[in-house]
């Protein structure tokens, strides 16, 4: 009896010890499981935070690039790469100048001599086109539509760099470009009409199109902006064929503000024929006197009011030569 009682006692004690050990390991297992779960959740949160930081970094880079472009425009430089190269050259050259106390004076003399003899470079500043300030979003991108007098631009399109016909030395023809302009109507030259100007992908050469809001089924197409503008003037009246066509101005792709935006688009550096233009931002109100809007208001081929003024003056002049008793011809009779 004593032996059987002792065996049962030891077996129960052993079982209790094993049970306690199992409970101990189970607690460790649950603790490790909870720790792993918290680690996985924390890792996921860190990954989301890294993704958010990368997105913020991309936005900051875009803002930095836009600010750099504005700084380049203010300082007369169009290509940010050249501006960065010059700034890097200035940074790397500073220790060399500080190593010798007399080198700064020599450099100053050389710079003064260069500025004195560099008169042609000063003359090139007058050839820079004045860029008007336009509204921008928080990332520095232009807000569409861009209104510039009678011209309104809705899309800049995409620069085509692999085909030579889509640009010249002075102009770029981006595919998808869209703008509108107010001009004389095709039905009645005394009335205003809204014309939509677009540039399409025509294969080897771009295709230009002008459509009136009153004649949507009769688009005026051509292989160049001047061809479209000439067809528009002829369609309004045969007497307008004497006006020199200015298709690039009518489309708006030669406007300094729009041309600067197109030149800043991706793919412009790959253009083989195009020569980058120099622009400067309008700083004073006097710069508006040289703005292309003033020229368009005085050009009968681009402005509605200028067209009426031009024919009113020419008609009154011719009538005074013939006879003062005749009545002034109206604008519709002049265009008929």
- Is residue 14 situated within a structural domain? yes
285: pLDDT strictly greater than 60: no
CA nearest 292: which of 244, 264, 243, 253? 253
- Is residue 309 situated within a structural domain? no
Determine the pLDDT at residue 84.
Answer: 55
User: Percent of the chain, pLDDT > 70?
Assistant: 69
Could you tell me the pTM of the whole model? 0.58
Is pLDDT larger for residue 92 or for residue 8?
8
83: pLDDT strictly greater than 80: no
Minimum mean pLDDT range among 70-74, 115-119, 275-279: 115-119
Determine the pLDDT at residue 72.
Answer: 74
Determine the pLDDT at residue 109.
Answer: 47
Number of Cβ within 10 Å of residue 295's Cβ equals: 14
Query: d(Cα 170, Cα 21) in Å, to the nearest integer?
Result: 87
Query: pLDDT tens across 10-64, in order?
Result: 677 777 878 888 888 888 899 999 999 999 999 989 998 899 898 888 888 888 8
| Whether residues 67 and 174 fall in one domain | no
311: pLDDT strictly greater than 90: no
Q: How far is CA 283 from CA 73, 131, 134, in A?
A: 12, 9, 13
Query: pLDDT tens across 140-173, in order?
Result: 889 999 999 899 999 999 999 999 999 999 999 9
86: pLDDT strictly greater than 90: no
192: pLDDT strictly greater than 70: yes
Determine the pLDDT at residue 5.
Answer: 57
Query: d(Cα 273, Cα 276) in Å, to the nearest integer?
Result: 10
- Is residue 214 situated within a structural domain? yes
Is pLDDT larger for residue 106 or for residue 250?
250
Q: How far is CA 212 from CA 15, 154, 180, 189, 218, in A?
A: 97, 16, 10, 13, 8
- Is residue 241 situated within a structural domain? yes
Give 283-291's long-range contacts (Cβ < 8 A, gap of 24+): 287/130, 290/130, 291/130, 291/132
- Is residue 163 situated within a structural domain? yes
Q: Which among 92, 115, 136 is the end of a domain?
A: 92
Determine the pLDDT at residue 140.
Answer: 81
Structural domain total, the chain: 2
Q: How far is CA 91 from CA 71, 86, 116, in A?
A: 18, 9, 25
- Is residue 110 situated within a structural domain? no
Determine the pLDDT at residue 116.
Answer: 43
- Is residue 215 situated within a structural domain? yes
**20: domain range?**
1-92
């Amino acid at each position: 009896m004593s032996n059987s009682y002792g065996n049962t006692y030891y077996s129960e004690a052993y079982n209790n010890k094993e049970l306690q050990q199992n409970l101990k390991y189970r607690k460790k297992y649950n603790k490790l499981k909870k720790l792993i779960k918290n680690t996985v959740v924390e890792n996921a949160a860190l990954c989301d935070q890294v993704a958010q930081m990368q997105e913020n970094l991309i936005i900051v880079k875009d803002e930095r690039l836009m600010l750099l472009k504005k700084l380049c425009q203010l300082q007369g430089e169009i290509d940010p790469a050249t501006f960065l190269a010059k700034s890097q050259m200035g940074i790397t050259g500073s220790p060399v100048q500080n190593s010798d106390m007399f080198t700064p004076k020599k450099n100053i003399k050389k710079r003064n001599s260069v500025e004195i003899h560099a008169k042609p470079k000063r003359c090139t500043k007058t050839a820079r086109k004045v860029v008007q300030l336009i509204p921008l979003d928080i990332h520095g991108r232009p807000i569409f539509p861009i209104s510039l007098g009678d011209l309104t631009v809705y899309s800049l399109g995409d620069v085509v760099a692999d085909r030579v016909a889509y640009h010249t030395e002075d102009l770029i023809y981006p595919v998808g470009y869209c703008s509108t302009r107010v001009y004389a109507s095709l039905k009645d030259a005394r009335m205003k009409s809204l014309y939509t100007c677009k540039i399409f992908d025509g294969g080897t050469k771009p295709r230009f199109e002008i459509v009136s809001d009153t004649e949507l089924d009769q688009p005026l197409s051509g292989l160049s902006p001047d061809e479209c503008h000439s067809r528009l003037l002829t369609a309004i009246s045969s007497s307008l064929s004497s006006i020199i066509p200015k298709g690039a101005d009518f489309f708006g792709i030669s406007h300094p503000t729009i041309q600067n935006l197109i030149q800043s688009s991706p793919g412009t550096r790959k253009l083989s024929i195009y020569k980058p233009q120099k622009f400067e931002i309008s700083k004073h109100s006097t710069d508006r006197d040289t703005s292309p809007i003033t020229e368009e208001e005085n050009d009968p081929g681009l402005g509605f009011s200028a067209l009426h003024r031009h024919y009113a003056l020419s008609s009154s002049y011719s009538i005074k030569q013939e006879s003062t008793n005749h009545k002034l011809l109206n604008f519709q009779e002049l265009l008929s």
